[in-house]
Structure formats: structure tokens, C-alpha cells
Amino acid sequence: MFDLIRKYQMNIMLCLCAVCLIVILMLFITKFLSKRRKGILLFQELNAFLLLFFDRLAYFYSGNVSASGYVMVRLSNFFVFFLTSSIVLSFNYYLIDLVTNEGKLKKIPRRLVVVGFASAVSMLMVIISAFTGFYYYFDAGNHYHRGPGFLFNYIVPVFGPILQYSVIAQNRKQISKIIYIAISLYIFLPITMGIIQIFAYGISIVNMMMVLVSISLYIFSYLDINEEAEKAHKMEIDFFKEKQNQTINIFLQASQAFANVMEHKNESEKGHSERTAQTAKLMAQKAGKSEEDCEKIYFAALLCDVGAESLGYIKAFPFLKETALYVGKKYSDSLPEYSRIVTVARDYDNMMNDPSIPDFYVRETFVREAGYKYDPVYAKIAVRMLDQKTNEEKAVEAESEIEREISCKKYREVVSSGIDVMQNLMEITFRCRPLTSEGSEKNEKSFSAPSLIIFDSSDAKVQTSQEAIESHKYLEYGEVWFDAHFISTGARNMLLQNIEKNQPQEGIQSEPAEDYVYSITCGRFEDHLRLKCRGPEKSFDLLLALPTASRAAYIGITGENVQIYDIKVEHTDHVILENEIPRIAEKLNFINRISSDMPNVQIVRPLCDYTKGVLVKDKMKLFFHTQSLPDANLIWHCPFVILYNSEDKKPFGINYHEYAVVKFDGEDNGSNEFAENNILVRKTEDFVNWEEWALQNKAGYECQIEFFKKGNEIIFKTQNKGVYIQNTTVIKDGSKDVFVALSGDQVALTDIRIR
């Protein structure tokens, strides 16, 4: 290493001198330093440049016995020794300026005063040595040699910086991290090189290092100032942001107050403006809008009902008037985007907060009106928000318990929330005691009995008003009492079996039996239910045939003159099989046709059944016949296409990866961690309207799906009764095999062929 430096040190010195001159030039034109700091750094860099310049000359003229060589050798060596102490002095000035400014010291530390004095004495000793040969001397061949006092020359360059560092270490908290690093390098690197220099004769590693650290001091000073400038800039930005937020908050409060005044006239609209604003902002966020746009959309939605004329006075925010002017207008690309977003958000809030409108109606409205009344992008966002809300509510319902207690004075005065009867066996228990009429004797008897209502409703509640019955598509199948009496209304058939007289429960003496534990064990298979009921007097089985397998079945607990309490619902892992429930009505079969390449499939609820999976190949075609079931009444009651991968090749099978689910009405499940989807949906000239489309689905028609596969990209196309769909799926999980299966909701798929 030393041999390499010795070989090229003249060139290294020349390069470092050039760099030093560039730094000096930059210091002359720089403006980010104070005049004093700038002057000290100039002095320092000039010292470093001259030190290395004369050191190079000393090597260059060494051994030159000419007159000029004689002068230059002595002159250059003098300045090398003189400037070594001068650099320590200039650095001392730098530290004094640093600790009295950044360090906030009112008095110069004594150690720095000592170093300054020692540096001046050392420089004086260099002058004396030039005449006495104490530090160095020259032989007859004009060569430099170390003198008897050579080591004394290193006292200041070695011990001076140590004292200087002790001052910096003591005031470290007041000095920036960057400057502290620069000073540490400036001090300890030359000291280290100085120790090495004692043993490495003939190379100037100390002087070269002095120049390098002097250059680094300027660079670190620049970085420090830059960091301080960034901090100041950030503080300035934070200040303006705070002021901006204060302004926004003032405007927000004023806007909310204004909206509240407008809503005060109509109690039913209380909170509508704020909810609409929050919904519009959420939709904008889901669409990837900027934070600024989301805030603007929030205010535009909050004040959309105030009126364009009034908002026109707010000149600073013209978008408020523009949004209010066009909100509620029929969709067109030419309408301002803010008004298109607010139109969806406002109608979403209106419908979702109307108790007479079920969620499925809101969903269908946005699906039907996408591209007509509503911007299709934000209509799709509204649908996905609804689906997410529905899933969250189902999760909450699954975790929550039914009411623990109800009281019914009048017949069916109160009915519990519906308990969903599913294929997994379930047990319901409760206790019951009679209620007595006011003013009646304690032993006076009146009719008192609990009963069960079996029904279907979109909100899982028993409905009584005609409006609610229609909007929630309420259908009551029948009612049953625990004395083995029942009423059949909407069921296809109801039948009692295995009626037995019960023995009194232990500890129950009074009649009617107070605190008796009533129990119902129930489950379903397709369109048949079985309830095993046990009351104080009788036990029996109730068989019930639903109108179709697609209908839900709920049990509501009620009665007359009863207090029902300690209601419990326990779900079991036992799955009801077909042979466990005797059939009392003909099976409704809409796929009783000859099968083709795979079995026909009847899907009575969303994705509850599906065809087998088929490996997707390039230019493959699927043909099949579709027909919506009689109960189908929503436009998404149609076929679905599922793209997936699983270890057992089955939909929703082992290690299932879902890539795409596309409905024939044009809905899709979007992208996920496994695949990226891009769907194109358009209405062709064959499309009349959604009502006609739904009728054609019920009548049935032939479908064709064409697949194209290239690498990890799959495209499929289909056109059905005027709805053209092209979906592009890019597989992200690295799977080479992708399967397709057909499913749907309330639809029969038959004559399925693969080509």
C-alpha cells in the first residue's frame, strides 16, 4: 500500500491540489455560510492547498543542486512545517466560531485558547528551526533530513486536535450530527496518519489526509446547511398546513352548520348531508382520487342540497356551485365528475337509510342504472360497498345471539328475530311462563301459549304492513303451536308426524307448565324442513315443503299472553342428508334434461353449486343452455363464470385460488392477490332494457363462451341478449393450469358442451 502511494504520490498530490482549488472557488461563490464561517473555511482550504503544493515542490526539487533547486527545497520545506501548525490554528478558529454560535457559548473555552497559543508558538519554532536545523537540515546533495527536534514538531498537530475534540465532545448536544462526524474525521484521521508517518518515511500521508479532511469539512458544512434548510422548509410547510387545516376546519364547521340549518326543516333528513359527504369521499378514495380531490368532493357533497345559486357567492370554490348545478342529472361523460360522484353517494344514502327499501333493491338499482342514471365507475363502487356491508353484517349476525327474552301480551305482539334454518342441524330452546291480565286474580286463567312462525324475508324479520311485505318479499309458510296444531299458508305442504304425549318434566307441577323448557331441533335439505318440537304435553315432527329450494326459511318465536325467556340457539356440526327428511312434495327439478359433456346443474342460491372444472385451453369454447328459476327476480339471477386453480381441480377446493368471478349481467369481483382483471361490458343494439333481459333469462336461451390463453393471460368473451362481456385475467401466482367452472344464482344450466 505504502509502495503504491510512494510511486504515485506526486500525481495524487496534484489531483488533491486541483480539488482544493475547486473548493476554494466554490467557497468564493457560495452564499449559504455566514461571512465569518466562510472566511475561516477559505483560510483553512488555502492552508491545505499551499501545504500540499509546497510538499509536492519539496519532493520535486529534492536533490536538485542548482541555485533555484537550493532555494525551492528550503522554501517548500519551510512552508510544509509552517502550514502544518497553521492548519491547526485555522481549524481552531472554526471551532471557536462553531461553539460560540451553534453551541451558544458566551466565553471561548480555555482549551481552544491554549491550542491557539500553542499553534502560534509552533509556527514561531518553525521560523527558528529554519536557521538552526532543529526540525530538519539539508546535506550537500540538497536532500532533506530530519533534525534532532523533529518529533517536537508533531506536538501541536497531535495533541492540539485532542484538546479540540474534548471541547466538541463536551458540547456535542448543541452541534448537529453531520458536523460532529466531520470534526471527528478532521481530528482523528490526520492523527492516525501522523503516527503512521513516523514509521513511513518518504511519503506525505499526513499532509494528503489534511487536505482530504479539509475538503470534507466544506462538504459536511454544505450538507448540514442543506439539512437545516430542509428542516426550516418543513417547518414552514407544516406551519402553512396547520393554517390551511385551520381554514378548512372553519369552512367545514360553517358548511356543517349551513347543512344542519337546511336539514332542520325536515327531521327525516337529519344527518343526510354529512353521511352523503362521507360516502362521496369514500367512493373517491376507492377510485384512487388524490387527497385534495377527496376533500373537495366531501365539501361538494356536504353542500349539494343548498342550491347552486347560493353557492355561487363562494367565489373561491367554484366547484361547489358546479356540483350542485348538475347533481342528480342523468349520467353523461360531459357532466362534471364531482356531480357524478355526489349523485351516486346521495342516492346511496337516501336508499340505505329508508327502512322500507331492502339492500338487494339498492344493489339492483345501481347495477341496472349504471351507464344510464349513474356513472358506471361509481355505481360499481357503490355495489361493492354494499356487498362488503352485507358480508360484514352477516359476520356480525353469525357472532351475535338472538334476543334472550320477549314478552307477548297480545297475539304475535312481539316476534323474535328470525333464526335461519340451514343444512346443519340446530337446536333452539327457551323457557315460558304465562302473563296475567291487569286486575285479574292470580288463579284466573286466559289462553297462553308460545308459537313458532316459519317465514322468509330479506331482513329476516316478520313483516306486517303491506309495504314492508312487498319490499322485503316477505312470505309466511305457516305457524305451529306446541300442542301439535299448525296453520299452513305459503308452504307447498306441511305434515305432522310422530306425535307423542310427554311425561311431565321433573320438578314441574303447575298447569299450565311454568318454566317448562321448550325445544326445537331443526334442519333442512334443499326445499324440505324438519322440526322436532317438544312442549309440556306433546312431542312431534313437523315436515314442511318450501315453494322452492331457493327460498330461505326463518323461525320466529312468539305467542300470546306469554313471557318467553332464556332463549338459546345451538348450532351443531351434523349436516342433514337427503334421506333424513321424508319428502312430502314433488322435487322441483328444472334440469331434467339429457346431459352432454358434463352433468346439468341447478343453482338455487349464489354459488351453492357448480359444474366440474375444465382446464382452460386456447380457443376453447363452452356451450350451454341457461334458464333462470321461477323465483328469480333480480338481474344477477343468471350464470356466473369462475376462473380458478385448486389441488383437487374443484371450485372452492383444496388450496383454492380464485382468479375471476364474472356474472352475465356484467358484474365482476375485480382483482385480487392471485390475479389482475380488466373487464369490458357494453350493451349492443340487441339490448332492450333490464326488464326484457330478465324475462329472456326466465324463458331460457343458448350461451357461448370463447376462451383465449397466452402465457399467464386469459381472455374470455360472451354475448347474451345484448350484454357483451370481455374479461382479461392476468395470473399473478405463477400457476400454469387455470380451470373454468359455471355457476350462478337461481339458474338452471343444462346441455353443457366443450369444444
pLDDT at 247: 54
Phi, psi for residue 458 in degrees, rounded to 5: -65, -25
Q: How do the residues of the chain divide into helix, strand and coil, expressed in percent and rounded to 5?
A: 45, 25, 30
All three cell numbers of 707, joined, read 376462451
Helix (H) or strand (E) holding 59: helix 35-61
Phi, psi for residue 413 in degrees, rounded to 5: -65, -35
Q: Output the average pLDDT for the chain.
A: 86
Q: Who wins on pLDDT, 107 or 531? A: 531
Residue 29 CA to residue 25 CA, distance in Å, equals 7
Per the rule left: phi > 0, alpha: psi between -120 and 50, beta: everything else, 30 is beta
Residue 139 CA to residue 159 CA, distance in Å, equals 31
pLDDT band at 612 (very low <50, low <70, confident <90, very high): very high
pLDDT at 245: 63
pLDDT at 202: 58
Residue 176 CA to residue 180 CA, distance in Å, equals 6
Angle 732-736-739 (CA atoms, 0-180°, nearest 5)?
95
User: Is the distance from CB of 469 to CB of 524 less than 8 angstroms?
Assistant: no
User: Is the distance from CB of 103 to CB of 174 less than 8 angstroms?
Assistant: yes
Give which of 50, 31, 24, 37 is closest to 179, Cα–Cα: 37
The packing angle between helices 155-170 and 67-101, to 10°, is 10
User: Is the distance from CB of 573 to CB of 422 less than 8 angstroms?
Assistant: no
Laid out side by side, the sheet with 528-534 consists of 405-408, 562-575, 424-434, 516-525, 528-534, 538-545, 493-501
Give which of 725, 595, 586, 585 is closest to 661, Cα–Cα: 725
pLDDT exceeds 70 at position 20: yes
Phi, psi for residue 24 in degrees, rounded to 5: -60, -40
Residue 38 CA to residue 27 CA, distance in Å, equals 7
184-201 average pLDDT score? 70
All three cell numbers of 400, joined, read 351475535
pLDDT at 511: 46
All three cell numbers of 109, joined, read 473555552
Buried b (16+ CB within 10 A) or exposed e, 157-180: beebbebbbebbeebeeebbebbb
pLDDT at 56: 81
β-pair type (713-720, 424-434): unpaired
Provide the residue type at 561 as one letter: N
User: Is the distance from CB of 530 to CB of 581 less than 8 angstroms?
Assistant: yes
Residue 27 CA to residue 48 CA, distance in Å, equals 14
Highest mean pLDDT among 69-83, 382-396, 727-741: 727-741
User: Is the distance from CB of 522 to CB of 555 less than 8 angstroms?
Assistant: yes
Phi, psi for residue 52 in degrees, rounded to 5: -70, -35
pLDDT at 226: 63
The packing angle between helices 376-399 and 359-369, to 10°, is 160
Residue 398 CA to residue 583 CA, distance in Å, equals 29
User: Is the distance from CB of 723 to CB of 693 less than 8 angstroms?
Assistant: yes
Helix (H) or strand (E) holding 32: none
User: Is the distance from CB of 701 to CB of 609 less than 8 angstroms?
Assistant: no
User: Is the distance from CB of 657 to CB of 735 less than 8 angstroms?
Assistant: yes
Residue 609: CA count within 13 A, CB half-sphere: 14
**341 vs 338, 389, 666, CA distance in Å?**
5, 19, 21
pLDDT at 514: 61
Residue 378 CA to residue 301 CA, distance in Å, equals 14
Q: Range with the lowest mean pLDDT among 176-180, 362-366, 583-587, 618-622?
A: 176-180
Dmax (CA) of the chain: 143
Phi, psi for residue 732 in degrees, rounded to 5: -110, -15
The packing angle between helices 67-101 and 110-132, to 10°, is 170
Provide the residue type at 506 as one letter: E
Helix (H) or strand (E) holding 495: strand 493-501
Highest mean pLDDT among 44-48, 180-184, 455-459: 455-459
The β-bridge partners of 424 are 575
pLDDT exceeds 60 at position 249: yes
**pLDDT tens digit sequence for 507-532:** 544 444 567 889 999 999 999 999 99
Helices (H), 576-724: 690-699
Neighbour tally for 227: CB within 10 Å: 14
All three cell numbers of 28, joined, read 468564493
Q: Range with the lowest mean pLDDT among 113-127, 185-199, 300-314, 645-659?
A: 185-199
pLDDT at 710: 95
Q: Is the peptide bond before 512 cis (omega within 30 degrees of 0)?
A: yes
Residue 612 CA to residue 629 CA, distance in Å, equals 21
| Number of residues that this document lists for the chain | 755
Q: What percent of the chain has pLDDT over 70?
A: 86
704-714 average pLDDT score? 96
User: Is the distance from CB of 744 to CB of 640 less than 8 angstroms?
Assistant: yes
Helix (H) or strand (E) holding 392: helix 376-399
pLDDT band at 263 (very low <50, low <70, confident <90, very high): low
User: Is the distance from CB of 44 to CB of 83 less than 8 angstroms?
Assistant: no
All three cell numbers of 24, joined, read 476554494
pLDDT exceeds 70 at position 32: no
540: CB partners within 8 A, 6+ apart: 484, 496, 497, 498, 499, 500, 532, 533
Q: Who wins on pLDDT, 133 or 702? A: 702
Provide the residue type at 80 as one letter: V
**140 vs 73, 689, 700, CA distance in Å?**
12, 113, 118
All three cell numbers of 399, joined, read 357472532
Highest mean pLDDT among 7-11, 49-53, 389-393, 407-411: 407-411
The β-bridge partners of 136 are 146
6-18 average pLDDT score? 72
User: Which residue segments constitute the domains of the chain, with CATH numbers given?
Assistant: 2-228 (1.20.1070.10), 266-399 (1.10.3210.10), 405-580 (2.60.120), 601-754 (2.60.120)
Phi, psi for residue 428 in degrees, rounded to 5: -115, 130
pLDDT band at 232 (very low <50, low <70, confident <90, very high): low
Residue 55 CA to residue 81 CA, distance in Å, equals 9
All three cell numbers of 138, joined, read 539539508
Buried b (16+ CB within 10 A) or exposed e, 528-540: bbbbbbbbbbbbb
User: Is the distance from CB of 293 to CB of 301 less than 8 angstroms?
Assistant: no
